[in-house]
Amino acid sequence: MRELKVGFLQQHNTADTKDNILRLGEGITDLAKRGAQLIVLQELHNTLYFCQTEDVDLFDLAETIPGPSTKLYCELAKKCGVVIVASLFEKRAPGLYHNTAVVIESNGEIVGKYRKMHIPDDPAYYEKFYFTPGDLGFHPIQTSVGKLGVLVCWDQWYPEAARLMAMQGAEMLIYPTAIGYADNDTPEEQQRQRMAWQTVMRGHAVANGLPVIAVNRVGFEPDSSGQTAGIQFWGTSFVAGPQGEIIYEASTDDEESIVVEMDMDRSEQVRRWWPFLRDRRIDAYGDITKRFID
């Protein structure tokens, strides 16, 4: 068995960015001491989820890649000897910003990045105001712990993104995430949404014969504009195996620092049992690139 120890931090962020980053650094160091080889952080982990409101001054939170945050996380990766998947607000040029995941090798070098392709625009999730859709495509990133199919949050609802990663040899699908409950939804609707969120990613695991790692924020973050009642992030970070089986599921309410052991050889065996890639009718899928078929 080729075993991989995956660590993740499900964190409650506050308005104190320095404290958020300090706790992340302490968490990464601790996970490495506990044997983690790959550490995945939640979406936009340095700050509050600022997309709850549209405010041009919040573009000041963005930074270049490489930049101050990548310098910090590269140093941590090298010091701890771990691969890190970080999630940052990237300033590419004046007026051009992305929601970008950065993959850092255990030697402290940036080995790849992924710019979020699907950008939502909903009450309390005004991401189209801040982020230009990604232009790097769907390509896995090779690291010392495997070929990582890194996507970001809203991408997790799209089977096409997961499939394209799998078709290029991704050995796992990774989703840094920031999603939670709307206060005006009933408790029943809130739970339907949370379970749909997990179910669709477990479906990606099954359909592609790959493990999935999803790391979400947790805790309440207010809406500074007062337009909404804020977001209660639902946590529930999880690791699923290649048949969609839950290997670990985090709390809906509490911070967690977890190391999960994954059998990386299992995917090949599962694909032998369920050869979905073999049986795909690639001759009949041309219309998938259309918006809608009338």
Would you write out the chain's pLDDT as a tens digit for each of its 294 residues? 799 999 999 999 999 999 999 999 999 999 999 999 999 999 999 999 999 999 999 999 999 999 999 999 999 999 999 999 999 999 999 999 999 999 999 999 999 999 999 999 999 999 999 999 999 999 999 999 999 999 999 999 999 999 999 999 999 999 999 999 998 899 999 999 999 999 999 999 999 999 999 999 999 999 988 888 899 999 999 999 999 999 999 999 999 999 999 999 999 999 999 999 999 999 999 999 999 998
Kindly give, in sequence order, each residue whose CB lies less than 8 Å from that of residue 292, ignoring residues fewer than 6 positions away.
none
d(CA 84, CA 8): 10
Radius of gyration of the chain (CA): 18
DSSP string, 130-165: H-PPP-S-S--EEETTEEEEE--GGGGG-HHHHHHH
> What CATH number belongs to 3-275?
3.60.110.10
Q: What is the pTM of this model?
A: 0.96
Max intra-chain CA distance, the chain: 56
Q: Where are the domains of the chain?
A: 3-275
Quick check: 89 and 67 in contact, CB under 8 A?
A: no
Quick check: 197 and 179 in contact, CB under 8 A?
A: yes
Predicted pLDDT of residue 185: 92
Q: Hey, which residues are catalytic here?
A: 43, 116, 153
d(CA 266, CA 205): 12
Predicted pLDDT of residue 84: 98
Question: Environment class of residue 264 by beta-carbon count within 10 Å: exposed (0-12), middle (13-18) or buried (19+)?
Answer: middle
Quick check: 87 and 98 in contact, CB under 8 A?
A: no
Q: Which of 25, 35, 23, 28 is nearest to 8 (CA)?
A: 28
Q: Which of 99, 68, 63, 61 is nearest to 178 (CA)?
A: 99
DSSP string, 159-183: HHHHHHHHHTT-SEEEEE---EEET
Q: What is the torsional sign of CA 74, 77, 82, 86? A: negative
d(CA 85, CA 113): 9
Predicted pLDDT of residue 61: 97
Which residue do the tokens 């790849």 mark?
112
DSSP state of 281: -
